[in-house]
Structure 1
């Protein structure tokens, strides 16, 4: 049906939000088969002030060059305009509530529609459970951040967990579940990490209502003999954790890129757009435990890669919150500074510099 519509209506471009959900993956494959342009929006590679827009695909489907020499030998890209969005999580919750409430209410009128997540009233219980757990762990974990950034500073490895159904894990890694990743990291830590170090798993805030890994992590601590060195935390200040960690272990979360920003070594266990020689540790996880303290991130490469990535794949803004500009209130603003002589990859989202006010997009 979709292929027939593309051809009959002479569609010139297909626009998606994410490219790994089954319906999106099929649409992307069919469109590319007929040489129809595909544009994919996604949450920002650089958080929290950007969203992603790429041609062909995002994350591991991205055509961003992975060769460090492409950036080191290219014309340097200046730092791009970046307007601060401020706190936006409350807007994510608001729009999520409105979206699911409307979808559930109208479900009887669209019986053939299939959502990628359950559209049931039980989802409301998940949100209530998430709020309850937030309050519970806020009380339980008082003093945890001070302990990690004080006595345990540079004595722990941080493992930011991803949402249980994140397509980044399901599609762009060899792990079938977050639980499998937790076990893999804990087992490697027990066997190979220095005996004085600690391992800290941080729960993803958007997964709080769906899963709680306390029992699993406690079980693994006892099983591998590291109960006193294994920690499970929730809503602690992420930049502080990254700054005080020895290293960061991710599947392919964008937190890994934030860790590089804070000059903390990263081991990506899945396929990540920033997993480039000179940026991330390229050896095995088993050797990362001892190698992390001496691993040097190539800061010149990081700056060039970050600025180029923002120029060619990122848009300053948010899907959920508007920000003020001299020209009005917008969700997304396009204001790029393209240097002369810059070599760009074929799928780059760029326009020639212009003197009028920047173009804006208000979805």
Structure 2
């Protein structure tokens, strides 16, 4: 009898009794996760806090919680010693490209300790991701169609069902982030050597979030009109280019472009030279980037130098992505999870960075010039197998910033203990 493939969360529960948590997403998710591990599954959970924001959401008075106040250069040696001394069998974090987590991954590999990474959901909304070894382009899963087609019959759930809804959106994340950065700033004396993976200034974010809200209001009528025009077919045959957050690790680590701007200019240049004259390009700004950066002038300057694109390139902000997915003929992306959303709609996708879903048979494997002329849609059977594999294994219903619905898992002695 073939047993169904276990989820990655199930594998974590089965394989470790002593678990160390590093940094989590802003908010209380790791505190709730720790309580679930301990109360429901009898795990001994350890936690490192790296700044006062971490400590606010995961108080130091919690059992086995430690404030790491030394420097980044000392972290590898400290972590290695801690893993050995406390018989840690698994380390979990959120975001595998943060400075401390990149070191932790290497230390775990050298000591034979499992390294687990949480990330936002591959399939959104209402999912979060957990993978062993790494997420996104660091995912260890094969980039081979055969793997997912072979695994599909072994999945417990083979038919897609919409997940239970959970509260989400920008507001709960922003509230958590504001508290996190406020506490981080007020507690800097305790953590003088902390290195953050991006700006840690609350004033910086409050200013830009306010600007973002103003811009959203300002763009509302224009975006509403553009959305209706797309639905009415005004743009004819068009490609959609969803831009990613300018400082996202997906851009910094998992592609060869210097920036989102350089990616955009590359796409525009290719479109100008190779795309059929009757096609349109719609560039969609990332909603989380609205107050931080704008590419309107870059696009205007490019069109001025390439007048053949006049009237063929449109820059939009808050038109919902599904509007474009329902009517477009293809997507070009660095490695955004929007590519997965596009494939759900059967839309051809061209990836220009490194993505866990860039698999022959799912994404277009021709060069960008060829993609404009002949975009190839994903194989439906393969994509369904891929989607269901992840929903059965790496995806957990919930949102880091409101509630994660941990599944019922029957505990058993860890495999490393047997």
TM-score range, shorter chain: 0.7 to 0.9
Distance 1:129 1:103, change over 3 A: same
42, 51, 55: which one aligns with 2:128 = 51
Find the counterpart in structure 2 of residue 16 from structure 1. Answer: 93
Q: CA deviation at 1:60?
A: 1.1
Contact 1:260 1:266 in 2 (8 A): yes
Find the counterpart in structure 2 of residue 248 from structure 1. Answer: 331
Range moving further from structure 2, 132-141 or 36-45: 132-141
Q: CA deviation at 1:85?
A: 2.3
Find the counterpart in structure 1 of residue 159 from structure 2. Answer: 79
Structural mapping, 1:123-272, within 5 Å: 123-152=205-234, 154-225=236-307, 226-272=309-355
Distance 1:228 1:33, change over 3 A: same
Q: CA deviation at 1:79?
A: 3.0
Q: CA deviation at 1:302?
A: 0.9
Find the counterpart in structure 1 of residue 102 from structure 2. Answer: 25
TM-score normalised according to structure 2 size = 0.75
Find the counterpart in structure 2 of residue 277 from structure 1. Answer: 360
Q: CA deviation at 1:193?
A: 0.5
Question: C-alpha distance in 1, partners of 2:402/2:170?
Answer: 9
Q: CA deviation at 1:195?
A: 0.7
Question: C-alpha distance in 1, partners of 2:301/2:150?
Answer: 49
Find the counterpart in structure 2 of residue 304 from structure 1. Answer: 385
Question: C-alpha distance in 1, partners of 2:235/2:251?
Answer: 29
Question: C-alpha distance in 1, partners of 2:251/2:204?
Answer: 25
Question: C-alpha distance in 2, partners of 1:332/1:144?
Answer: 37
Q: CA deviation at 1:352?
A: 7.3
165, 171, 174: which one aligns with 1:90 = 171
TM-score normalised according to structure 1 size = 0.85
Deviating beyond 6 angstroms after TM superposition, the runs of 4 or more aligned structure 1 residues are 351-354
Deviations 1:244-269 (A, max 9, x none): 11101110000000000011110011
Question: C-alpha distance in 2, partners of 1:85/1:312?
Answer: 20
- SS in structure 1 of the partner of residue 311 of structure 2: helix
Deviations 1:282-302 (A, max 9, x none): 11111101112xx23211111
Question: C-alpha distance in 1, partners of 2:369/2:356?
Answer: 22
- SS in structure 1 of the partner of residue 188 of structure 2: helix
Find the counterpart in structure 2 of residue 116 from structure 1. Answer: 197
Deviations 1:281-336 (A, max 9, x none): 011111101112xx2321111111100111111111110123xxxxxxxx23226x
Contact 2:91 2:116 in 1 (8 A): yes
Question: C-alpha distance in 2, partners of 1:100/1:202?
Answer: 29
Contact 1:221 1:228 in 2 (8 A): no
Question: C-alpha distance in 2, partners of 1:8/1:126?
Answer: 44
Contact 2:152 2:388 in 1 (8 A): no
Find the counterpart in structure 2 of residue 342 from structure 1. Answer: none
Contact 1:205 1:234 in 2 (8 A): yes
- SS in structure 1 of the partner of residue 187 of structure 2: helix
Q: Which runs of 5+ in 1 are unaligned?
A: 323-330, 336-350, 355-363
The CA RMSD over aligned residues, in Å, is: 2.0
Q: Which runs of 5+ in 2 are unaligned?
A: 1-77, 413-418
How many correspondences in the alignment?
329
Contact 1:251 1:268 in 2 (8 A): yes
